[in-house]
Amino acid sequence: MNRNVNSIAGRLSLRPPQRRSVEILDRITEIAPPGKEPDINAVLEIIRSEFPTVTDFEREFPSLCFALATGVGKTRLMGAFISYLHLAHGINNFFVLAPNLTIYNKLIADFTPNTPKYVFRGIAEFATNAPAIITGDNYDQRDPASGSLFGGVRVNIFNISKINSEVRGGKSPRIKRLSEYIGESYFDYLAGLILPNNDGHLVKRVKLRNRGGT
- Could you tell me the mean pLDDT of each successive run of 10 residues in the chain, 214 residues long? 90 95 95 81 94 88 86 92 94 89 94 95 92 84 52 86 72 77 77 53 52 50
What is the model's pTM?
0.82
The DSSP line for 151-188 is SS-EEEEEEHHHHHHHHTTSPPPGGGSEETTTTEEHHH
Which pLDDT score, from 0 to 100, does residue 117 have?
Answer: 94
Instruction: List the one residue out of 31, 70, 35 whose CA is nearest residue 51.
Output: 31
Which pLDDT score, from 0 to 100, does residue 186 have?
Answer: 80
Q: Residue 146 is part of a domain; what is its CATH number?
A: 3.40.50
- Residue numbers of the domain that contains 139: 3-210
Which pLDDT score, from 0 to 100, does residue 141 have?
Answer: 67
Q: How many domains does the chain have?
A: 1
Backbone angles phi, psi at 84, to 5 degrees: -65, -50
The DSSP line for the chain is --HHHHHHHHHTT--HHHHHHHHHHHHHHHHS---SS--HHHHHHHHHHH-TT----SSSS-EEEEEE-TTS-HHHHHHHHHHHHHHHH---EEEEEESSHHHHHHHHHHTSTTSTT-TTTT-GGGTSSPPEEEETTTGGG--GGGTTTTSS-EEEEEEHHHHHHHHTTSPPPGGGSEETTTTEEHHHHHHHHHSTTSTT----EEEEEETT--
